Structure 1
Amino acid sequence: MSSIRTVFVGAVEGSLVALEALIAAGRAPVLVVTLPPESAHRHSDYVDLARPARKTGAAVHFTTNINAPETVEAIRAAAPDLTMVIGWSQICREPFRSVARLGTLGYHPSPLPRFRGRAVIPWTILAEETTSGSSVFWLDEGVDSGPIIVQRLFPVAHDETARSLYDKHKQALAEIAVDALDRIARGEAAGTAQDERLASYCAKRTEADGLIDWREPSEAILRLVRAVGDPYPGAFTFDAGDRIVVGSACALAPHGRHIGLTGQVQGHTERGFSVLCGDGITIEVTTWRGSPDGRRPKVHARLGPCRRPA
């Protein structure tokens, strides 16, 4: 097996999966670049890569800016053949990308060229996609636009959650991270150019985008709950000023069963409480957090605020 000196960049759950797979395959990096622990708040799925890196004898460089001159210099000092960026949210500028002799690989949790950009896992669920995929590709000056080295496709279930889809990507990543290095070691480094005619772009999402608008149809609300939950901040609402994060919910009663105001708590259930949605269908909130002492909102309380005026 041809030896390739790699520098590995990452800071999230998927980064750890890829790093451990590379180590197990005998392709441990010589340097790991990651976030310092005090910056863990930047990612809801942050993981510590320093410990597994040091166990293999790899050096560790902490940074909050992948393009900082001192970070680029630390990578240059490691004399890498290849840099791998897996789980890092900043754009990698040309000085960074040009350090390694062979170039820089990136990873994206989508079937490139579709779904380039940010917040891909939530958008995949919100867009009701039936297929997703994980891609390892060459980083260039564009956004997730370089030639693809290896890609794995898989189905998206009708009830997919952010966590279940994230885990599918992690499973695929463990395979394709090693596969990509093996292909490059065999001299198969060119990759396949992306078809720009098929490209689509995902907008950035913030925590505030998880606000539930109870005037929406029940299916849309349930989809939002599934799309932005663990490992992300979650869908949320307010009960008399208390922020409630909805962890899971399901359809409960058909249109017309409950007559009331949208966003109004219709009753308490064995597992939680029921809320009337904009299409007249009632959903059951089965897990939640944030309310004082974990109690249910009062029956007939109206949750909000809504995004549209009454």
Structure 2
Amino acid sequence: MTKLVVCAYHNVGYRCLEELLKQGAEVALVFTHEDSPTEEIWFQSVRELAERHGIPYLTTDINEPVNVAKVRELAPDFLFSFYYRNMIKPEVLEIPRRGALNLHGSWLPQYRGRVPVNWAVINGETETGATLHHMVTKPDAGDIVDREKVAIAFTDTAFDVFTKVTEAAVTVIARSYPLLTAGTAPRIPMDLAEGSYFGGRRPADGLIDWTKSAVQVYNLIRGVTHPYPGAFTYLDGKKVIVWSAWPAEGSAAPGAIVSAAPLLVGTGEGLLELRSLQAEGENEVAADQFTAAALSAEKRFTHS
């Protein structure tokens, strides 16, 4: 039987590991992560899935010498990485006899790197995907085994797209795993010149630039709204998170409040209707419940 070591976290990790188990894979060891106390945990637990199936698991970094030695001792045929957050070092990638593969949440080579779903939404893309590829030293750069496209609707949030990408990831694993075990899976060289690379995002990167167009600001908002930290601005020096918005016709100075009902704000091109907001230290509310005193015509949203 084909022996696997699986590095997994988040919903993609959970669902892909689940699919491998459905196909009868022998998973000798799972590497996952401890949940961060500072992060909103809205996704399924790989650790709990491993426990239910009696699979040994570790939450320490696979790259630690003791763990590298453990993987060598197990001598797996394949190593899979499904949304594992640590870069896996070359010495580990060389251990599995038949290859080390990663499931990436984009249509590679587009959106290599971190948080590809969020970046795709923020940049207003109309499609993305899930890609299974061989791992090499350079991130998200090895030969492609299989890909599945995902449509991004203009109304989709990053959470909506991530849900679609998760389903696409399962489809890819379901198709690819039998081919990998049979030794008939394709290997398509990745042309990095046709792609793009993006780094990680911090909560501070959610600051709204009102000089951008209404559509660009809207894309940022839906790209980092729940369960992510949210896009934010300032009103009278107080931080305000904008959880939901919609582009509208019209024009006004960037950040200027045009009306309170609906709550319309000027941008570099067009107006943006703010629909759900949360002032610092307060609860999230619909725009019509937002503090009336804050919405006078003299007010405007700012960068700080």
Which TM-score bucket, shorter chain as reference? 0.7 to 0.9
Deviations 1:179-198 (A, max 9, x none): 22211111124521112331
Q: Is the 1:216–1:277 contact (alpha carbons within 8 Å) kept by the matching residues of 2?
A: no
Note closer, same or farther for the CA distance 1:78–1:47 as it changes in structure 2 (3 Å cut). farther
Aligned position for 1:30: 28
Identity of aligned residues (%): 24
Aligned position for 2:250: 255
Q: CA deviation at 1:40?
A: 5.4
TM-score for the superposition, normalised by structure 1: 0.85
Aligned position for 2:256: 264
Q: Is the 1:31–1:60 contact (alpha carbons within 8 Å) kept by the matching residues of 2?
A: yes
Aligned position for 1:283: 272
The code of the aligned residue for 1:262 comes to P
Distance in 2, matches of 1:27 and 1:290, equals 49
Deviations 1:85-142 (A, max 9, x none): 0102322111111222212111111111222112211221233323311100110112
Q: Is the 1:11–1:87 contact (alpha carbons within 8 Å) kept by the matching residues of 2?
A: yes
Deviations 1:184-225 (A, max 9, x none): 111124521112331322233222111011222211111111
Q: For 1:247, what is the secondary structure of its paired residue?
A: strand
Deviations 1:32-80 (A, max 9, x none): 111123x3546866642111111112101111x3311122223334332
Q: Is the 1:21–1:175 contact (alpha carbons within 8 Å) kept by the matching residues of 2?
A: no
Q: Does 1:238 align with 2:230?
A: no
The code of the aligned residue for 1:30 comes to A
Q: For 2:5, what is the secondary structure of its paired residue?
A: strand
Q: Is the 2:123–2:216 contact (alpha carbons within 8 Å) kept by the matching residues of 1?
A: no
Distance in 2, matches of 1:227 and 1:160, equals 9
Q: Is the 1:44–1:233 contact (alpha carbons within 8 Å) kept by the matching residues of 2?
A: no
Q: CA deviation at 1:24?
A: 2.6
Q: Is the 1:276–1:282 contact (alpha carbons within 8 Å) kept by the matching residues of 2?
A: yes
Q: Is the 2:259–2:265 contact (alpha carbons within 8 Å) kept by the matching residues of 1?
A: no
The code of the aligned residue for 1:187 comes to G
The code of the aligned residue for 1:226 comes to R
**What residue ranges of structure 2 are gaps of 5+ in the alignment?**
none
Note closer, same or farther for the CA distance 1:72–1:45 as it changes in structure 2 (3 Å cut). farther
The code of the aligned residue for 1:57 comes to G
Note closer, same or farther for the CA distance 1:287–1:198 as it changes in structure 2 (3 Å cut). same
Q: For 1:137, what is the secondary structure of its paired residue?
A: strand
Aligned position for 2:194: 198
Aligned position for 2:169: 173
Deviations 1:212-249 (A, max 9, x none): 11222211111111122234222111233433222211
Give me the CA root mean square deviation.
2.4
Q: Does 1:216 align with 2:205?
A: no
Note closer, same or farther for the CA distance 1:189–1:48 as it changes in structure 2 (3 Å cut). same
Q: For 2:110, what is the secondary structure of its paired residue?
A: coil
Q: CA deviation at 1:156?
A: 2.4
